[in-house]
Amino acid sequence: MAPSAIPIPSTTSSLEKEGIARSLEKTAPSFTNGSTNGITSSDSTLPELDASSLKTTLTQNPQPVPLPDSPEVLAQKTCTDHMITCSWTLTTGWQTPELKPYGPLTLMPTASVLHYATECFEGMKLYRGYDGRLRLFRPQLNCARMLLSSARIALPGFNPDELLKLIVKLCATDGEKWLPKERPGSFLYIRPTMIANDPALGVQKPKEALLYIILACFPRMDKGQEGMKLLASKDDMVRAWPGGFGFAKVGANYGPTLICQGEARARGYDQILWLFGPESSVTEAGASNFFIVWKTRVGQTQLVTAPLSERIILDGVTRRSVLQLARERLSGSDDNVEVVERKFNFSEMLEAYDEGRLLECFVAGTAFFISGVGEIGWKDRSLTFKLNEDGCGRYAGLIKASLKNIMYGKQAHEWGYVVEEN
Amino acid sequence: MAPSAIPIPSTTSSLEKEGIARSLEKTAPSFTNGSTNGITSSDSTLPELDASSLKTTLTQNPQPVPLPDSPEVLAQKTCTDHMITCSWTLTTGWQTPELKPYGPLTLMPTASVLHYATECFEGMKLYRGYDGRLRLFRPQLNCARMLLSSARIALPGFNPDELLKLIVKLCATDGEKWLPKERPGSFLYIRPTMIANDPALGVQKPKEALLYIILACFPRMDKGQEGMKLLASKDDMVRAWPGGFGFAKVGANYGPTLICQGEARARGYDQILWLFGPESSVTEAGASNFFIVWKTRVGQTQLVTAPLSERIILDGVTRRSVLQLARERLSGSDDNVEVVERKFNFSEMLEAYDEGRLLECFVAGTAFFISGVGEIGWKDRSLTFKLNEDGCGRYAGLIKASLKNIMYGKQAHEWGYVVEEN
């Protein structure tokens, strides 16, 4: 994706758009040239993010690779041997990125990120294919979204292509050891992160930031045959709102949900199904996008998910891919599934369920991948769904299998981005 | 304030309330005993936050105290010689607090706070009085609010009285040197902070946290005679939402505002005046509470500010104090000001302005103290207000003077909390 193609959604407020444009002007010099879609050009001469200048220092203390689903992996604390960091300041631009041994960061107690949530991130995976190769999945989309998130949270701009090169470099360095070829079908979780380490305590746009990329050992989080259990949120609990930042992958969308998520877990559910507004519009589930498949009253099978237009849900890479695959592969004569992005309310879902028209629900995201929903708790009701062995209903299962084939190299597809190992 | 008196507002959703209660149960053992107002009791035996066990290590490298309004102070990066830190884990409870030399924190790149904004803070000041004594201003309220904020963002509970003791200890240690007696009328900014340093990358309630307290050299931020310039937000830019977290002092309320705030500054304004909803309800200004004084159509002078009931604005300590002082001192026969907490819309303000009934506007908060508003930009309009030499209109000026007298020891008052120096 060319940088100039990064869309600032048309519903962006003018003040926010102008603020983002001004921010990028100062921080991401030339790559925004010529864009007219909210990101303006600039003639700044400060250094850009430049992967070609990467300085490499390999570890002298390599760590053991934990076994899949070992306690170390389940704890989600183990990262690979290396990380990449790159500093930025308002006056000097982007510094030389460094690939170096994984280790702690040092921050002043006044650092902006610790007080004002000036932070954003991405979630991606590195897959070890059945053909022995390493792949990313549509990583350009993550890098472009990271720019949108960083601009929304007043962090510096950068060329997403350079971020992708850095991600690839880290994957190429640690992939061979941490995703051994004898474990095809395994993955590492990639977490590009940007934080404001500006030590000035005033509430203001940060003048210093740190971009870093780490690779974590993560368990599979898609559920078994019982599927996910979702607890519908109440009217007075809101994850995101129009005019807010629900569309961006910023820390501020996550911490505030943890109390409700924790309470859901304490009651035996996996995640919250986030309903919004007086009409209980269905938005996201946990930190994943949410889909349903139902029959309309006239018998049309539809795959439905909430639209991006209100900017209260994340423009998920998996979400996009589900929609595209469904349009390509499920709309033929065999299945004849209509793919619909529209607002829908919980009451519509409930009605369909009671009339036997709600065929399945599933969540889609990088962490949880495609996970069928086995149960939804709402007030005193419990909606239950029978799932297949893969933990999905029929349609989610078809989509999941297609995506896995692309991710793990069983099917050649432009979405699979091969990483050549060092 | 007794811990059991910490109110969880009645509009709190049940799931959130139960989540907070469960959180406190696990993290703040005995001090919640007996509370029935949303915070439940617990029989946990894990160690509580305990100021009496404070371990002290004084600096070997004392730093020079910058002059008031010197570049170091304006940069808001200079802290005093010491800080207090205290670690917590889910399995071991609160550890021994430490008073030690001010210096950087070490965090793993996976730390929850850097990804999910699991952070909250307070803003307070330590005042050097004209009587030579050090004072805090109603610090119990800040400590109680810190507990509410930490619970909202899934951080551990604690006894607010112990937090206050730690704050006092740090102030007593560094106050003498950093607020010299020969500079009465000066202050330090106190920033109690809690962050989740849990290195597990999963989106979940943190199992490790760090509480710390620092004292920063801050400039006076109340404006001169020109007053503050506010830019009214547009309909599609929203700071907080009912069911969200606008009432809590969590990082997630700040970072997302910086782009708009930065754009306001680039246009020559100081802060955003946050309007909410289709009726452009007036809520906060920047990160301060917002007040107006107007004459009603029947000639009644009213001091008006937004109510707390929707939980979209902060329950400011200065806000509370302004309301109380105004009720006590401005409602007599001389001034006869009626004090009103109610929703009011920008259109009402505009109407009053055009009819010559809008007497003054001001903001109130710890950082900006009481600052009169000189101008409000809204669409193509500019509302301007003439201010006195103290940068306030008549009523804000009276309140500001009263508060200063309490803070700086010119008037004995229960709100002034004397800190005995070491």
* B chain contacts of residue A106, beta-carbon cutoff 8 Å: 104-106
Q: What is the mean pLDDT of residues A142-164?
A: 97
* A chain contacts of residue B38, beta-carbon cutoff 8 Å: none
Residue A28 confidence (pLDDT)? 42
CB contact under 8 A, A205 and B241: no
Contact between residue A290 and residue A316 where contact means Cβ atoms under 8 Å apart: no
Proportion of chain A above pLDDT 70, given as a percent: 90
Q: E strand or H helix at B153, and its extent?
A: none
CB contact under 8 A, B261 and A235: no
Distance, in Å, from the CA atom of B169 to the CA atom of B134, rounded to the nearest integer, reads 12
- Chain A from 112 to 131: CB within 8 A of any B CB: 112-119, 121
* B chain contacts of residue A78, beta-carbon cutoff 8 Å: none
Tokens found for residue A337: 């599934």
> Confidence band (pLDDT; 50, 70, 90) for B33?
very low
- Chain B from 296 to 355: CB within 8 A of any A CB: none
Q: Which residue type sits at B5?
A: A
CB contact under 8 A, B241 and A238: yes
**CB proximity list for A72: less than 8 A, separation 6 or greater:** A66, A78, A217
* A chain contacts of residue B110, beta-carbon cutoff 8 Å: 76-77, 79, 191, 214, 216
Q: E strand or H helix at B128, and its extent?
A: strand B124-128
A25: burial class by Cβ within 10 Å (0-12, 13-18, 19+)?
middle
**CB proximity list for B330: less than 8 A, separation 6 or greater:** B303, B337, B339, B395, B398, B399
Facing A259 at nearest CB: one of B77, B154, B262: B154
* B chain contacts of residue A19, beta-carbon cutoff 8 Å: 259-260, 262-263, 266
ipTM confidence: 0.93
> Is a pLDDT exceeding 50 seen at residue A36?
no
CB contact under 8 A, A261 and B203: yes
Query: 3-state class of B124 per DSSP?
Result: strand
Facing B256 at nearest CB: one of A214, A237, A252: A252
HEC profile of chain A:
CCHHHCCCCCCCCHHHHHHHHHHHHHHCCHHHCCCCCCCCCCCCCCCCCCHHHCEECCCCCCCCCCCCCCHHHHCCCCECCEEEEEEEECCCEECCCEEEECCCEEECCCCHHHHHCCEEECCEEEEECCCCCEEEECHHHHHHHHHHHHHHCCCCCCCHHHHHHHHHHHHHHHHHHHCCCCCCCCEEEEEEEEECCCCCCCCCCCCEEEEEEEEECCCCCCCCCCCEEEEECCCCCCCCCCCCCCCCCEHHHCHHHHHHHHHHHHCCCCEEEEEECCCCEEEEECCEEEEEEEECCCCCEEEEECCCCCCCCCCCHHHHHHHHHHHHHCCCCCCCEEEEECCCEHHHHHHHHHCCCEEEEEEEECCCEEEEEEEEEECCEEEECCCCCCCCCHHHHHHHHHHHHHHCCCCCCCCEEEECCC
CB contact under 8 A, A259 and B214: no
Q: Which residues pair with B369 in a beta bridge?
A: B365
Residue A15 confidence (pLDDT)? 63
Average pLDDT, chain A: 91
Tokens found for residue A195: 């934080």
Tokens found for residue A291: 């889909």
- Chain A from 136 to 175: CB within 8 A of any B CB: 151-154
- Chain A from 12 to 31: CB within 8 A of any B CB: 13-16, 18-20, 22-23
| Residue A9 in contact with partner chain B when CB distance is under 8 A | no
Contact between residue A149 and residue A209 where contact means Cβ atoms under 8 Å apart: no
Residue B354 confidence (pLDDT)? 98
| Closest C-alpha to A129, from A422, A410, A349 | A410
Which residue is closest to A120 within chain B, CA to CA? B115
Tokens found for residue B386: 């003439």
| Closest C-alpha to A417, from A39, A138, A72, A228 | A138
Please tell me the pTM assigned to this model.
Answer: 0.93
Tokens found for residue B54: 């404070």
Residue B20 confidence (pLDDT)? 66
Residue B27 confidence (pLDDT)? 43
Distance, in Å, from the CA atom of B283 to the CA atom of B307, rounded to the nearest integer, reads 9
Angle between helices B258-266 and A14-27 (to 10 degrees): 80
pLDDT in tens, A196-216: 999 999 999 999 999 999 999
Residue B13 confidence (pLDDT)? 54
Which residue is closest to B16 within chain A, CA to CA? A260
Q: E strand or H helix at B411, and its extent?
A: none
> Is a pLDDT exceeding 60 seen at residue B343?
yes
| Residue B132 in contact with partner chain A when CB distance is under 8 A | no
**What are the Cα distances from residue A42, in Å, to A15, A20, A156?**
19, 13, 14
Contact between residue B142 and residue B171 where contact means Cβ atoms under 8 Å apart: no
pLDDT in tens, A269-313: 999 999 999 999 999 999 999 999 999 999 999 999 999 999 999
Q: What is the mean pLDDT of residues A140-150?
A: 97
**CB proximity list for B324: less than 8 A, separation 6 or greater:** none
Residue B221 confidence (pLDDT)? 82
Residue B366 confidence (pLDDT)? 95
Proportion of chain B above pLDDT 90, given as a percent: 85
* A chain contacts of residue B264, beta-carbon cutoff 8 Å: 15
Q: Which of B201, B211, B363 to probe by mutation at the A interface, max A CB count within 10 Å? A: B201
Q: What is the mean pLDDT of residues B37-44?
A: 42
Q: What is the mean pLDDT of residues B186-202?
A: 97
Tokens found for residue B205: 């309630």
**What are the Cα distances from residue A145, in Å, to A3, A142, A316?**
11, 5, 9
Distance, in Å, from the CA atom of B164 to the CA atom of B159, rounded to the nearest integer, reads 9
Query: What is the DSSP-derived secondary structure letter of residue B250?
Result: B
| Closest C-alpha to B158, from B166, B168, B147, B174 | B147
CB contact under 8 A, A214 and B15: no
Which residue is closest to B73 within chain A, CA to CA? A200
Tell me the domains of chain A and their CATH numbers: 46-216 (3.30.470.10), 228-407 (3.20.10.10)
> Is a pLDDT exceeding 70 seen at residue A16?
no
How many Å separate Cα B136 from the centre of its chain? 13
Residue A20 confidence (pLDDT)? 66
Kind of pairing, strands B228-232 and A301-305? Answer: unpaired
CB contact under 8 A, A191 and B204: no
Proportion of chain B above pLDDT 70, given as a percent: 90
* B chain contacts of residue A241, beta-carbon cutoff 8 Å: 238, 241, 244
* A chain contacts of residue B263, beta-carbon cutoff 8 Å: 15-16, 18-19, 22
Residue carrying structure tokens 């989600």: A76
Residue B223 confidence (pLDDT)? 73
> Is a pLDDT exceeding 80 seen at residue B262?
yes
Q: What is the mean pLDDT of residues A378-390?
A: 96
> Confidence band (pLDDT; 50, 70, 90) for B334?
confident
* B chain contacts of residue A121, beta-carbon cutoff 8 Å: 115
CB contact under 8 A, B255 and A256: no
Q: What are phi and psi of A195, to 5 degrees?
A: -130, 150
Proportion of chain A above pLDDT 90, given as a percent: 85
User: Which of A7-21, B36-50, B183-197 shows the lowest mean pLDDT across its residues?
Assistant: A7-21
Phi/psi class of residue A379: alpha, beta or left (left: φ > 0; alpha: ψ in -120 to 50)?
A: left
CB contact under 8 A, B77 and A199: yes
Q: E strand or H helix at B154, and its extent?
A: none
C-alpha triplet A18, A22, A25: angle, nearest 5°: 140
d(CA B76, nearest CA chain A) in Å: 5
Which residue is closest to A205 within chain B, CA to CA? B258
> Is a pLDDT exceeding 80 seen at residue B8?
no
> Is a pLDDT exceeding 80 seen at residue B43?
no
CB contact under 8 A, A263 and B204: no
| Closest C-alpha to B102, from B213, B197, B193, B186 | B213
Distance, in Å, from the CA atom of B318 to the CA atom of B415, rounded to the nearest integer, reads 11
pLDDT in tens, A235-256: 778 999 999 999 999 999 999 9
> Is a pLDDT exceeding 90 seen at residue B389?
yes
Angle between helices A394-407 and A317-329 (to 10 degrees): 110
Q: E strand or H helix at B318, and its extent?
A: helix B317-329
Q: What is the mean pLDDT of residues B81-87?
A: 98
* B chain contacts of residue A83, beta-carbon cutoff 8 Å: 109
Query: 3-state class of B398 per DSSP?
Result: helix
Task: Work out the number of other CB atoms within 10 angstroms of the CB of residue A268.
Answer: 10
- Chain A from 205 to 234: CB within 8 A of any B CB: 205-206, 212, 214, 216, 218, 231, 233-234
Facing A262 at nearest CB: one of B23, B236, B259: B23
d(CA B362, nearest CA chain A) in Å: 19
d(CA A128, nearest CA chain B) in Å: 21
CB contact under 8 A, A237 and B13: yes
CB contact under 8 A, B114 and A250: no
Tokens found for residue B92: 């071991």
Q: What is the mean pLDDT of residues B325-331?
A: 94
Average pLDDT, chain B: 91
Q: What is the mean pLDDT of residues B262-266?
A: 94
Residue A276 confidence (pLDDT)? 96
Distance, in Å, from the CA atom of A16 to the CA atom of B266, rounded to the nearest integer, reads 12
> Is a pLDDT exceeding 90 seen at residue A6?
no
* A chain contacts of residue B121, beta-carbon cutoff 8 Å: 115
